[in-house]
């Protein structure tokens, strides 16, 4: 009976080593698979008989069995690629995927080789939809729950200028100009002149001239004008005022007030009385600021050192990028870059407990715990890299060493089987 048991023991070894060889072969086969995590076999011995009671060391083993397969979630090497949609997680975490079919199954992956489908949705090569958060067009803050990451439109509509910021220094040494403002002589007598670009409500770029005049010891007036050819009711070649105001400074040269006296920004072919905020700095009284940021009145030459406006023409999507926080930003042909979405990442308490689905995907299981989904770089989740892929973490050299060891173990167990068979033959021969 013990010889038959030795045969079964040898067979258990063959079976276990065969399973281990299959795991090693799977690792080697996936050495080039993006985001693949290697596995290893975990063995346990099998006890068959206690010779003397329940307790004590007089026990006979009946071989070995594969108790489980452990996935190794060590970070794979990161390599750059030429595709904007390629992403990699640096640290812990998984991309969240949703099956677009009726069941809506959620799965997770480390493979960030994504692409956009015909509906503008970020997806995997087999059509699983990458999940993330929609961002507010104006504030860039997250809106709503996790949903598919999509570029619903490849265009961005034009936006008329809503604010024009002019930061300048107006020379405190300048003489007070007693003459009333006259557009015909403005270029010759103004203490400071500048040209700013303004977009009307159709996204058409317009040139606006600005003139600054010192009207008091600490007061300046400004006037904005444009050629009548681009203004509603204007005459070609005749400049027309579209806005004016007054700037007041204190003894320290800081801006106290920026007052708007009149405004009528009405370009031809666009909305009348376009609302524009003429911003000259954080005025102490009118802007509740410090007066130190923006326009000043110091004893140095008058000059404009910054002009910013927030309007733009319509544009088409030309490129996109992803930062480490997972924010997907679109770059448009009009020079505007807008945050469009934010990639969501999932983190598990026990990555090794995840259930493999194939296609480089995993599924939540009892041993893995429930995922916590959130932004990259928060809650222990790693950061994101674009134009980057995570390679398989398979170490070919180590796998070959394990293969040789497993082969030798298999051969040794095979020897156990053949030797036990020879002993059985000897026993059968005794009957003759």
CB-facing half-sphere around the CA of 15: CA atoms within 13 A: 14
Average pLDDT for 104-129: 91
pLDDT reading at 6 higher than 90: no
Q: pTM for this structure?
A: 0.73
Pairing state of beta strands 303-309 and 59-71?
unpaired
pLDDT reading at 357 higher than 80: yes
Give 148-207 pLDDT, tens digit per residue.
988 767 788 999 999 999 999 999 999 998 888 888 889 889 999 999 999 999 999 999
Average pLDDT for 63-70: 90
If pLDDT is split at 50, 70 and 90, which confidence band does 53 have? low
Give 264-288 pLDDT, tens digit per residue.
999 999 999 999 999 999 999 999 9
pLDDT reading at 431 higher than 90: no
pLDDT reading at 388 higher than 70: yes
End-to-end CA distance of the chain: 20
Q: Is 182 exposed, middle or buried (0-12, 13-18, 19+ CB in 10 A)?
A: exposed
pLDDT reading at 394 higher than 80: yes
Q: What local confidence, expressed as pLDDT, does residue 405 receive?
A: 95
Kindly give the residue spans of alpha helices, DSSP state H, lying in 167-237. 186-189
Average pLDDT for 15-41: 95
C-alpha to C-alpha distance for 259 and 246, rounded to whole angstroms = 5
Query: Among the listed ranges 6-10, 127-131, 137-141, 168-172, which one has the minimum average pLDDT value?
Result: 137-141
pLDDT reading at 55 higher than 60: no
For the chain, list the domains and their CATH numbers.
2-74+396-430 (no CATH), 78-153+321-390 (no CATH), 163-309 (2.60.98.20)
C-alpha to C-alpha distance for 398 and 419, rounded to whole angstroms = 32
């Amino acid at each position: 009976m013990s010889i038959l048991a030795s045969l079964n023991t040898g067979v258990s070894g063959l079976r276990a080593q065969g399973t281990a060889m299959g795991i090693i072969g799977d690792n080697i086969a996936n050495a080039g698979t993006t985001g693949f995590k290697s596995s290893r076999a975990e063995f346990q011995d099998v006890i068959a008989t206690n010779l003397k009671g329940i307790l004590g060391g007089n026990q006979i083993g009946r071989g070995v069995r594969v108790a489980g397969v452990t996935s190794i979630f060590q970070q794979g090497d990161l390599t750059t690629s030429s595709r904007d949609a390629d992403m990699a997680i640096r640290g812990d975490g998984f991309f969240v995927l949703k099956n677009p079919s009726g069941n809506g199954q959620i799965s997770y992956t480390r493979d960030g080789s994504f692409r956009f489908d015909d509906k503008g949705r970020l997806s995997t090569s087999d059509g699983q939809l990458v999940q993330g958060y929609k961002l507010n067009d104006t504030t860039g803050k997250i809106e709503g729950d996790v949903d598919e990451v999509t570029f619903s439109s490849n265009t961005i509509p034009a936006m008329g200028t809503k604010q024009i910021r002019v930061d300048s220094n107006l020379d405190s040494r300048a003489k007070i100009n007693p003459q009333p403002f006259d557009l015909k002589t403005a270029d010759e007598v103004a203490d400071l002149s500048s040209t700013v670009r303004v977009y009307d409500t159709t996204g058409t770029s317009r040139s606006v001239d600005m003139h600054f005049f010192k009207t008091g010891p600490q007061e300046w007036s400004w006037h904005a004008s444009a050629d009548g050819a681009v203004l509603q009711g204007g005459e070609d070649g005749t400049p027309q005022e579209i806005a004016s105001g007054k700037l007041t400074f204190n003894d320290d040269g800081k801006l106290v007030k920026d007052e708007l006296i009149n405004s009528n920004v009405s370009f031809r072919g666009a909305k009348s009385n376009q609302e524009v905020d003429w911003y000259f700095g954080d005025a102490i009284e009118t802007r509740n600021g410090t007066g130190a940021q923006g326009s000043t009145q110091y004893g140095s030459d008058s000059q404009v050192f910054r002009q910013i406006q927030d309007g733009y023409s319509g544009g088409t999507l030309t490129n996109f990028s992803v930062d480490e926080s997972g924010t997907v930003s679109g770059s448009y042909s009009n020079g505007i870059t807008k945050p469009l979405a934010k990639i969501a990442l999932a983190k598990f308490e026990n990555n090794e407990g995840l259930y493999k689905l194939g296609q480089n995907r995993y599924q939540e299981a009892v041993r893995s715990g429930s995922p916590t989904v959130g932004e990259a770089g928060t809650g222990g989740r790693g950061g994101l890299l674009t134009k980057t892929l995570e390679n398989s973490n398979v170490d070919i050299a180590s796998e070959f060493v394990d293969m040789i060891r497993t082969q030798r173990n298999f051969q040794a167990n095979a020897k156990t089987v053949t030797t036990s068979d020879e002993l059985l033959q000897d026993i059968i021969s005794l009957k003759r």
